[in-house]
Amino acid sequence: MDIKDYTSAVVRTAKSCETQEVDGQTMNVLHWSLGLSGEVGELVDTVKKHIFYDQPFDMVNAQEELGDILFYVAAMTEELGLDLEYIMANNKAKLEQRYPQGYSDDDAKARADKQEELDLGDPLDWKWINEGERP
């Protein structure tokens, strides 16, 4: 599935809070944050039931909760005018800097990405975000 198609579906189906006393964007960001927190809690509950109550891991429920988490992430990304693909690329670059040879406990403790500024360029310089064309 294409990310843009997905985020368009999120925007189309997400509740808008434009009529609240506080400005609509603030209420939407609060809404998406609380929704994200709730869905993460539901995923954690699935894991808890498996580990502490000896229930079989509910893969169907885990998949559903991950989809709900993705919904709220995409909704917040769109509300803030951010680009989900840029966020993913930024996160990938951070992880590659932190773990250049793959995960290791030593690299996790050293946190190379925190030792110096991670230079991914200014997102405003990424013309494809503003012009809609990817390099």
List, for residues 83-124, the tens digit of each pLDDT value.
999 999 888 888 888 888 988 888 888 875 565 555 555 554
pLDDT in tens, 69-82: 999 999 999 989 99
**Residue ranges making up the domain that contains 20:** 1-82
- CB neighbour class for 103 (10 Å; exposed up to 12, middle 13-18, buried from 19): exposed
Asked if residue 62 and residue 31 are part of one domain, the reply reads: yes
Mean pLDDT of the chain: 82
Give the total number of structural domains in the chain.
2
- The first and second tokens of residue 66, run together, are 């991950």
Share above pLDDT 90 across residues of the chain, in percent, rounded to a whole number: 40
Please state the rounded mean pLDDT for residues 33-56: 97
Residue of higher predicted confidence among 29 and 128: 29
Three-state DSSP state, 10: helix
Helix, strand, coil percentages (3-state) for the chain, rounded to 5, are 70, 0, 30
* Residue of 103 and 46 predicted with greater confidence: 46
Do 69 and 104 fall within a single domain? no
Single residue among 64, 82, 100 that ends a domain in this structure: 82
Residue 135 has pLDDT above 50, yes or no: no
Token pair for residue 10?
A: 């999120």
